[in-house]
Amino acid sequence: MKETQWMRKNHMDLLKHQRDETMRKGIRDEKYSLKNCIECHASTKDDSVIARDDSFCVACHRYEAVKIDCFECHSGKRKSSGLQRGAK
């Protein structure tokens, strides 16, 4: 996607832009979709970006004391988790 430091500063803008494009216009370009982020960044232990204190989203957000609202509605688990578990 982009380098880590850039993403740390700007990921929220990418997500917010993409969410309006997808929701209101039906543009399902997966490059910046939340689902696509989770697909790679979810932990291999529990397939989640929010389940533990050191999960991908939680670790920084806890340190910065910024509440994440995304996962009130969105699933924090990767969609293919069922498939991957089946493959192992």
Partner 1 sequence: MNDVNIRRRDFLKTSVGAAAVAIVPGMMLFDLSHGKPENASGKVRWGMLIDTTQCKTGCNDCVTACNNENGLSGGIRATDSQWIRKIELKSDSTRRELSLPMMCQHCENPPCVDVCPTTASFKRADGIVLVDKHRCIGCRYCMLACPYKARSFVHEPLHDQNPDVPRGKGTVEACTLCVHRVDQGIQPACSEACSNKAILFGDLNDPESEIAKKISSMASVQIRADLHLNPGIRYQGL
Site residues (CB under 8 A) for partner 1? Answer: 19-20, 23-30, 33, 35-36, 38, 72-75, 77-79
The smaller minimum CB distance to partner 1, of residues 63 and 83, is found at 83
The smaller minimum CB distance to partner 1, of residues 62 and 74, is found at 74
User: Tokens 């399902």 — which residue?
Assistant: 28
Residue 88 CB-half CA count within 13 A: 8
- Is the distance from CB of 76 to CB of 50 less than 8 angstroms? yes
The smaller minimum CB distance to partner 1, of residues 55 and 77, is found at 77
